[in-house]
Amino acid sequence: MASWAASSGDLIVDRRFDFFEGVAGSGGPGGAGALLAEALGRTPGWAAGWYRLGEWHEASGAPEAACDAWEKAMAADPSDMLGAGLKRDLARKVPMVEAMPAAFVEALFDQYAEKFDTALVDKLGYRAPWLLRDALGGRRFAQAMDLGCGTGLAGEVFRASTGWLEGCDLSAAMLGQAQAKGIYDRLEKADLAELQIGARYDLILAADVFVYLGALERIVAWCAGSLTPDGVLAFTVEAGSEPLVLRESRRFAHSRGYLEGVLAAAGFTELTVTEATIRKDRGADIRGFVVVAGGLNLQRDRQGDGEDVALA
């Protein structure tokens, strides 16, 4: 049985968990947490139970106890499908993870795939693909890659301006929605943190995707290595005042300075960064950066002899 499953696999523990939920839901005595912790001693490998105990401690104003429970959830499920590490970091305000767990992201988007387009565009005012299209000024591209393509919202916007459009995503359910639209020439299930350099593209898109990756050094290096000499990387991120910060939404925000540094280190010499509202969250506008990076050919041909000498 999966450690994140709804049942512990032990009838006694499940009954005590149900009792705990009843007491916690009615604002009952603080001993409910101790009762659940005692029960979890019978099934220490049940991540969902520890995660829920962490939530209860957090709501009760006991952040250290919550963090302890979330760490037990992570020990029970190292893939961290429930995102316990993110909750721990938010509670301690000291980030220890630099990316969202792949299992957490996959489960999250598998769950929302069928209603994703409506929720994102109609309810949250999602604008990233259209902002990127405008930032690129109507330019056409022969080969394009849509990173974290999801259900294909960016693909719909860019299909007419690309000769070949490829997409990849971690969520099989999201890819199923994209496949049904019939707009991609190729789709692949892939973890962006594990991509290997292979094909070359004139355009790499990442619309509202890097907010789930956190540290961008590796993915930006992959993009630089996967672009043609005159290729362009275009992406959106949430705007932050610190280089990298995990927000209560469990998405990452990045500062302009951090983005400029990472892109320069990867060899991009031409950069446009525009601030814009990229979506809404709980009724509030989310400010972000619309980034277009290119100029790799200038870095690769730094000797001026026309020979590709890209930095390792």
State percent of the chain over pLDDT 70: 90
Structural domain of 196? 110-300
Mean of per-residue pLDDT scores for the chain: 87
Average pLDDT over residues 269-285: 92
Same domain, 139 and 267: yes
**Domain final residue, candidates 55, 71, 97:** 97
Residue 288 lies inside a defined structural domain of this protein:
yes
Q: Would you say residue 260 has pLDDT above 60?
A: yes
pLDDT confidence tier of residue 1, bands split at 50, 70 and 90: very low
Cα–Cα dist 197/86, whole Å: 29
Look at residue 311 in the predicted model and tell me its pLDDT.
40
For residues 148 and 195, the answer to whether their CB atoms sit within 8 Å is no
**Domain final residue, candidates 46, 73, 97:** 97
- Taking alpha carbons only, the member of 197, 170, 194, 175 closest to residue 186 is 175
For residues 53 and 36, the answer to whether their CB atoms sit within 8 Å is yes
Same domain, 259 and 204: yes
Global pTM reads 0.79
**Domain final residue, candidates 97, 129, 145:** 97
Rg of the chain taking only CA atoms, in angstroms: 22
| Range scoring the smallest mean pLDDT among 50-64, 164-178, 192-206 | 50-64
Q: Would you say residue 306 has pLDDT above 50?
A: no
Number of other CB atoms surrounding residue 312 within 10 Å: 4
Name which residue leads in pLDDT, 180 or 107.
180
pLDDT confidence tier of residue 199, bands split at 50, 70 and 90: very high
CATH number of the domain where residue 264 is located = 3.40.50.150
Exposed / middle / buried, residue 110 (Cβ in 10 Å: 0-12, 13-18, 19+): middle
State percent of the chain over pLDDT 90: 56
Residue 102 lies inside a defined structural domain of this protein:
no
Q: Would you say residue 128 has pLDDT above 70?
A: yes
Look at residue 68 in the predicted model and tell me its pLDDT.
94
pLDDT tens string 200-227: 999 999 999 999 988 999 999 999 999 9
pLDDT tens string 24-61: 765 555 567 888 888 898 899 999 999 999 998 998 88
| Range scoring the smallest mean pLDDT among 149-158, 196-205, 233-242, 278-287 | 278-287
